[in-house]
Amino acid sequence: MTIPINNNASSFFFILMDFPGLETAHCWTAIPVCIIYVLSLLGNTTILHTVKSVPSLHTPMYFFLSMLSVADLGLAVSTLPSMAAVYLLGQRKVGAATCFVQLFFIHTCSVIESAVLLAMAFDRCVAIRAPLRYATILTTKRIGAIGLASVTRGAALHLPLPVLLGRLQFQPVNVLSHSYCVHPDVLRLASSSTVVNSGLGLFVMLSTLGVDAVLILLSYVMILKTVLNIASNAGRLKALNTCISHICAVLLFYTPLVSLSVIHRFGKMKLPAQIYMLLSYLHFLVPPVLNPIVYTVKTKEIRACILKTRSLRVEILVM
Protein backbone atom coordinates (compact mmCIF):
# COMPACT_ATOMS: atom_id res chain seq x y z
CA MET A 1 0.00 0.00 0.00
CA THR A 2 1.60 3.27 -1.14
CA ILE A 3 0.66 6.45 0.69
CA PRO A 4 1.26 9.75 -1.16
CA ILE A 5 2.87 12.02 1.42
CA ASN A 6 4.20 15.55 1.35
CA ASN A 7 7.65 16.58 0.20
CA ASN A 8 9.18 16.78 3.68
CA ALA A 9 8.03 13.25 4.63
CA SER A 10 11.59 11.99 4.82
CA SER A 11 12.49 14.75 7.30
CA PHE A 12 9.91 13.97 9.99
CA PHE A 13 9.00 10.92 12.00
CA PHE A 14 6.95 9.87 15.00
CA ILE A 15 8.04 8.75 18.45
CA LEU A 16 5.97 5.97 20.02
CA MET A 17 5.39 6.01 23.77
CA ASP A 18 6.17 3.41 26.40
CA PHE A 19 3.74 3.16 29.27
CA PRO A 20 4.23 6.48 31.14
CA GLY A 21 6.46 6.04 34.18
CA LEU A 22 7.88 2.72 32.99
CA GLU A 23 10.07 3.94 30.13
CA THR A 24 13.26 2.56 31.66
CA ALA A 25 11.69 -0.84 32.36
CA HIS A 26 10.42 -1.65 28.89
CA CYS A 27 12.01 -5.11 29.06
CA TRP A 28 9.80 -5.97 32.03
CA THR A 29 6.66 -4.44 30.58
CA ALA A 30 7.32 -6.54 27.47
CA ILE A 31 6.43 -9.68 29.46
CA PRO A 32 2.70 -8.93 29.99
CA VAL A 33 2.45 -7.49 26.47
CA CYS A 34 3.87 -10.70 24.99
CA ILE A 35 1.58 -12.83 27.17
CA ILE A 36 -1.42 -10.84 25.97
CA TYR A 37 -0.49 -11.34 22.33
CA VAL A 38 0.22 -15.06 22.76
CA LEU A 39 -3.12 -15.59 24.51
CA SER A 40 -4.89 -13.59 21.81
CA LEU A 41 -3.34 -15.60 18.99
CA LEU A 42 -3.91 -18.95 20.70
CA GLY A 43 -7.48 -18.17 21.74
CA ASN A 44 -8.70 -16.89 18.39
CA THR A 45 -6.92 -19.52 16.30
CA THR A 46 -8.43 -22.18 18.59
CA ILE A 47 -11.91 -20.78 17.96
CA LEU A 48 -11.30 -20.74 14.21
CA HIS A 49 -9.89 -24.26 14.16
CA THR A 50 -12.72 -25.63 16.31
CA VAL A 51 -15.47 -24.09 14.19
CA LYS A 52 -13.82 -25.24 10.97
CA SER A 53 -13.17 -28.83 12.09
CA VAL A 54 -16.52 -29.56 13.78
CA PRO A 55 -19.43 -29.85 11.27
CA SER A 56 -22.06 -29.35 13.98
CA LEU A 57 -20.73 -25.82 14.51
CA HIS A 58 -21.29 -24.82 10.88
CA THR A 59 -24.20 -22.57 11.79
CA PRO A 60 -24.71 -18.80 11.47
CA MET A 61 -23.89 -18.10 15.13
CA TYR A 62 -20.49 -19.80 14.89
CA PHE A 63 -19.71 -18.38 11.46
CA PHE A 64 -20.14 -14.91 12.94
CA LEU A 65 -18.00 -15.96 15.89
CA SER A 66 -15.29 -16.97 13.43
CA MET A 67 -15.53 -13.53 11.81
CA LEU A 68 -15.12 -11.95 15.24
CA SER A 69 -11.98 -14.03 15.81
CA VAL A 70 -10.56 -12.94 12.45
CA ALA A 71 -11.22 -9.27 13.32
CA ASP A 72 -9.58 -9.77 16.72
CA LEU A 73 -6.55 -11.34 15.06
CA GLY A 74 -6.42 -8.38 12.66
CA LEU A 75 -6.35 -5.94 15.59
CA ALA A 76 -3.62 -7.94 17.31
CA VAL A 77 -1.46 -8.20 14.19
CA SER A 78 -1.94 -4.50 13.36
CA THR A 79 -0.70 -3.31 16.75
CA LEU A 80 1.97 -5.98 17.29
CA PRO A 81 4.86 -4.64 15.12
CA SER A 82 5.19 -1.25 16.80
CA MET A 83 4.53 -2.58 20.30
CA ALA A 84 7.17 -5.27 19.82
CA ALA A 85 9.63 -2.60 18.67
CA VAL A 86 8.88 -0.43 21.71
CA TYR A 87 8.73 -3.01 24.47
CA LEU A 88 11.10 -5.70 23.22
CA LEU A 89 13.70 -3.67 21.33
CA GLY A 90 13.31 -0.22 22.87
CA GLN A 91 12.89 1.27 19.38
CA ARG A 92 10.32 4.07 19.43
CA LYS A 93 11.02 5.85 16.15
CA VAL A 94 8.66 5.12 13.24
CA GLY A 95 8.50 6.65 9.76
CA ALA A 96 5.52 8.63 8.53
CA ALA A 97 4.41 6.19 5.82
CA THR A 98 4.70 3.21 8.18
CA CYS A 99 2.68 5.05 10.82
CA PHE A 100 -0.06 5.99 8.34
CA VAL A 101 -0.32 2.43 7.03
CA GLN A 102 -0.55 1.05 10.56
CA LEU A 103 -3.37 3.39 11.58
CA PHE A 104 -5.27 2.44 8.42
CA PHE A 105 -5.22 -1.25 9.34
CA ILE A 106 -5.92 -0.63 13.03
CA HIS A 107 -9.01 1.47 12.36
CA THR A 108 -10.19 -0.79 9.54
CA CYS A 109 -10.01 -3.89 11.74
CA SER A 110 -11.76 -2.00 14.53
CA VAL A 111 -14.66 -1.07 12.25
CA ILE A 112 -14.83 -4.62 10.89
CA GLU A 113 -15.16 -5.92 14.44
CA SER A 114 -17.92 -3.42 15.11
CA ALA A 115 -19.77 -4.62 12.01
CA VAL A 116 -19.39 -8.25 13.09
CA LEU A 117 -20.78 -7.42 16.54
CA LEU A 118 -23.77 -5.83 14.80
CA ALA A 119 -24.21 -8.94 12.66
CA MET A 120 -24.10 -11.09 15.79
CA ALA A 121 -26.77 -8.90 17.39
CA PHE A 122 -28.93 -9.41 14.29
CA ASP A 123 -28.28 -13.15 14.55
CA ARG A 124 -29.50 -13.23 18.17
CA CYS A 125 -32.49 -11.06 17.29
CA VAL A 126 -33.61 -13.41 14.50
CA ALA A 127 -32.97 -16.51 16.63
CA ILE A 128 -35.20 -15.22 19.45
CA ARG A 129 -37.89 -13.36 17.50
CA ALA A 130 -38.25 -15.70 14.51
CA PRO A 131 -36.71 -19.08 15.40
CA LEU A 132 -38.70 -20.98 12.75
CA ARG A 133 -37.35 -18.73 9.97
CA TYR A 134 -33.81 -18.56 11.34
CA ALA A 135 -32.27 -20.99 8.84
CA THR A 136 -34.01 -19.40 5.85
CA ILE A 137 -33.08 -15.82 6.80
CA LEU A 138 -29.43 -16.39 7.71
CA THR A 139 -28.27 -18.56 4.84
CA THR A 140 -24.60 -19.25 4.13
CA LYS A 141 -24.73 -16.95 1.11
CA ARG A 142 -26.13 -14.05 3.16
CA ILE A 143 -23.57 -14.59 5.91
CA GLY A 144 -20.79 -14.43 3.33
CA ALA A 145 -22.29 -11.23 1.90
CA ILE A 146 -22.41 -9.68 5.39
CA GLY A 147 -18.75 -10.54 5.94
CA LEU A 148 -17.71 -9.10 2.58
CA ALA A 149 -19.73 -5.93 3.19
CA SER A 150 -18.09 -5.49 6.60
CA VAL A 151 -14.59 -5.67 5.14
CA THR A 152 -15.44 -3.45 2.16
CA ARG A 153 -17.03 -0.77 4.32
CA GLY A 154 -14.11 -0.67 6.74
CA ALA A 155 -11.43 -0.49 4.05
CA ALA A 156 -13.25 1.97 1.76
CA LEU A 157 -14.09 4.48 4.48
CA HIS A 158 -10.60 4.48 6.01
CA LEU A 159 -8.56 4.58 2.82
CA PRO A 160 -8.79 8.41 2.52
CA LEU A 161 -7.51 8.94 6.07
CA PRO A 162 -3.81 8.10 5.52
CA VAL A 163 -3.91 9.80 2.13
CA LEU A 164 -5.14 13.07 3.67
CA LEU A 165 -2.71 12.75 6.56
CA GLY A 166 0.12 12.49 4.04
CA ARG A 167 -0.75 15.96 2.72
CA LEU A 168 -0.38 17.65 6.12
CA GLN A 169 2.73 19.30 7.52
CA PHE A 170 4.37 17.96 10.69
CA GLN A 171 7.25 18.97 12.91
CA PRO A 172 10.57 17.12 12.47
CA VAL A 173 9.91 15.09 15.65
CA ASN A 174 6.37 14.19 16.72
CA VAL A 175 5.69 12.41 20.02
CA LEU A 176 2.57 10.23 20.05
CA SER A 177 0.51 9.26 23.10
CA HIS A 178 0.47 5.52 22.38
CA SER A 179 2.80 2.72 21.35
CA TYR A 180 1.07 2.49 17.96
CA CYS A 181 -0.42 4.98 15.52
CA VAL A 182 -4.09 5.96 15.69
CA HIS A 183 -5.71 8.70 13.64
CA PRO A 184 -6.76 11.24 16.34
CA ASP A 185 -3.35 10.97 18.00
CA VAL A 186 -1.46 11.61 14.75
CA LEU A 187 -3.85 14.35 13.68
CA ARG A 188 -3.31 16.47 16.80
CA LEU A 189 0.41 16.77 15.94
CA ALA A 190 -0.11 18.34 12.51
CA SER A 191 1.12 21.91 12.11
CA SER A 192 -1.24 22.72 9.20
CA SER A 193 -5.04 22.91 9.02
CA THR A 194 -6.76 19.65 9.96
CA VAL A 195 -10.38 20.69 9.36
CA VAL A 196 -10.93 18.26 6.48
CA ASN A 197 -9.13 15.39 8.20
CA SER A 198 -10.95 15.92 11.48
CA GLY A 199 -14.32 16.21 9.77
CA LEU A 200 -13.76 13.05 7.75
CA GLY A 201 -12.52 11.15 10.80
CA LEU A 202 -15.58 12.17 12.80
CA PHE A 203 -17.88 11.21 9.91
CA VAL A 204 -16.28 7.79 9.58
CA MET A 205 -16.55 7.16 13.32
CA LEU A 206 -20.20 8.22 13.53
CA SER A 207 -21.26 6.43 10.32
CA THR A 208 -19.66 3.15 11.38
CA LEU A 209 -19.13 2.73 15.11
CA GLY A 210 -21.89 5.18 16.01
CA VAL A 211 -24.50 3.66 13.69
CA ASP A 212 -23.49 0.12 14.66
CA ALA A 213 -23.85 0.91 18.36
CA VAL A 214 -27.33 2.37 17.85
CA LEU A 215 -28.47 -0.62 15.78
CA ILE A 216 -27.07 -3.05 18.35
CA LEU A 217 -29.01 -1.21 21.06
CA LEU A 218 -32.21 -1.35 18.96
CA SER A 219 -31.68 -5.07 18.38
CA TYR A 220 -31.55 -5.68 22.11
CA VAL A 221 -34.63 -3.54 22.68
CA MET A 222 -36.48 -5.84 20.26
CA ILE A 223 -34.97 -8.92 21.91
CA LEU A 224 -35.99 -7.71 25.37
CA LYS A 225 -39.51 -6.97 24.17
CA THR A 226 -39.82 -10.51 22.82
CA VAL A 227 -38.30 -12.09 25.93
CA LEU A 228 -40.74 -10.26 28.22
CA ASN A 229 -43.61 -11.81 26.28
CA ILE A 230 -42.39 -15.32 27.09
CA ALA A 231 -44.67 -16.82 29.72
CA SER A 232 -42.23 -18.87 31.80
CA ASN A 233 -39.27 -17.54 33.73
CA ALA A 234 -37.20 -20.51 32.58
CA GLY A 235 -37.90 -19.60 28.96
CA ARG A 236 -36.88 -16.00 29.55
CA LEU A 237 -33.62 -16.98 31.23
CA LYS A 238 -32.83 -19.45 28.46
CA ALA A 239 -33.37 -16.83 25.77
CA LEU A 240 -31.30 -14.19 27.58
CA ASN A 241 -28.53 -16.68 28.32
CA THR A 242 -27.85 -17.03 24.60
CA CYS A 243 -27.05 -13.31 24.48
CA ILE A 244 -24.71 -13.01 27.46
CA SER A 245 -21.50 -13.76 25.53
CA HIS A 246 -22.38 -11.22 22.86
CA ILE A 247 -23.28 -8.56 25.42
CA CYS A 248 -19.90 -9.06 27.10
CA ALA A 249 -18.12 -8.74 23.72
CA VAL A 250 -20.02 -5.52 22.95
CA LEU A 251 -19.17 -3.98 26.33
CA LEU A 252 -15.50 -4.99 26.03
CA PHE A 253 -15.28 -3.35 22.61
CA TYR A 254 -17.37 -0.19 22.93
CA THR A 255 -16.77 1.01 26.50
CA PRO A 256 -13.05 1.93 26.20
CA LEU A 257 -13.52 3.01 22.57
CA VAL A 258 -16.24 5.54 23.38
CA SER A 259 -14.28 6.83 26.38
CA LEU A 260 -11.10 7.23 24.33
CA SER A 261 -12.88 8.95 21.44
CA VAL A 262 -14.63 11.40 23.73
CA ILE A 263 -11.36 12.27 25.51
CA HIS A 264 -9.47 12.74 22.24
CA ARG A 265 -12.07 14.86 20.50
CA PHE A 266 -13.91 16.74 23.22
CA GLY A 267 -11.74 16.55 26.32
CA LYS A 268 -10.68 20.02 27.45
CA MET A 269 -8.88 19.25 30.69
CA LYS A 270 -5.45 17.67 30.82
CA LEU A 271 -5.67 14.08 31.94
CA PRO A 272 -2.72 11.90 33.00
CA ALA A 273 -1.03 10.20 30.07
CA GLN A 274 -1.66 6.86 31.78
CA ILE A 275 -5.41 7.30 31.23
CA TYR A 276 -5.01 7.63 27.46
CA MET A 277 -2.67 4.66 27.32
CA LEU A 278 -4.83 2.46 29.54
CA LEU A 279 -8.04 3.11 27.59
CA SER A 280 -6.20 2.48 24.34
CA TYR A 281 -4.88 -0.85 25.63
CA LEU A 282 -8.31 -1.82 26.93
CA HIS A 283 -9.80 -1.25 23.49
CA PHE A 284 -7.15 -2.78 21.23
CA LEU A 285 -5.58 -5.49 23.41
CA VAL A 286 -8.21 -6.77 25.85
CA PRO A 287 -11.09 -7.82 23.52
CA PRO A 288 -8.89 -10.15 21.38
CA VAL A 289 -7.82 -11.89 24.59
CA LEU A 290 -11.13 -12.03 26.46
CA ASN A 291 -13.58 -12.69 23.60
CA PRO A 292 -12.37 -16.30 23.03
CA ILE A 293 -12.41 -16.91 26.80
CA VAL A 294 -15.94 -15.53 27.20
CA TYR A 295 -17.32 -17.57 24.30
CA THR A 296 -15.51 -20.72 25.41
CA VAL A 297 -16.83 -20.42 28.97
CA LYS A 298 -20.39 -19.45 28.04
CA THR A 299 -20.85 -21.66 24.95
CA LYS A 300 -21.00 -25.31 25.93
CA GLU A 301 -20.75 -26.54 22.33
CA ILE A 302 -17.36 -24.89 21.82
CA ARG A 303 -16.17 -25.90 25.28
CA ALA A 304 -17.17 -29.51 24.68
CA CYS A 305 -15.46 -29.60 21.27
CA ILE A 306 -12.23 -28.12 22.66
CA LEU A 307 -12.18 -30.59 25.56
CA LYS A 308 -12.90 -33.46 23.19
CA THR A 309 -10.08 -32.40 20.88
CA ARG A 310 -7.64 -32.18 23.80
CA SER A 311 -8.69 -35.65 25.03
CA LEU A 312 -8.08 -37.15 21.60
CA ARG A 313 -4.63 -35.56 21.42
CA VAL A 314 -3.73 -36.89 24.85
CA GLU A 315 -4.85 -40.39 23.85
CA ILE A 316 -2.78 -40.22 20.67
CA LEU A 317 0.30 -39.12 22.62
CA VAL A 318 -0.17 -41.91 25.15
CA MET A 319 -0.51 -44.52 22.41
Predicted TM-score (pTM) of this structure: 0.89
Alpha helices in the chain (DSSP H): 26-53, 60-87, 96-129, 134-137, 140-158, 160-165, 183-187, 195-205, 211-228, 233-241, 244-266, 273-284, 286-298, 300-318
**Angle, helices 96-129/140-158, rounded to nearest 10 degrees:** 150
Please report, in tens digits, the pLDDT of each residue of the chain (319 residues total).
544 444 455 567 899 988 776 666 666 777 888 888 999 999 999 999 989 988 888 999 999 999 999 999 999 999 988 888 888 887 888 989 899 999 999 999 999 999 999 999 999 999 999 999 999 999 999 999 999 999 999 999 999 998 899 888 898 888 988 889 999 889 989 988 899 999 999 899 899 999 999 999 999 999 999 998 887 888 888 888 889 999 999 999 998 877 776 776 655 556 676 777 788 888 888 899 999 998 888 777 777 777 776 554 544 444 4
CA distance 178 to 316: 46
Among candidate residues 189, 149, 238, the one with its CA nearest the CA of residue 16: 189
| Contact in structure between 12 and 170 (CB atoms under 8 Å) | yes
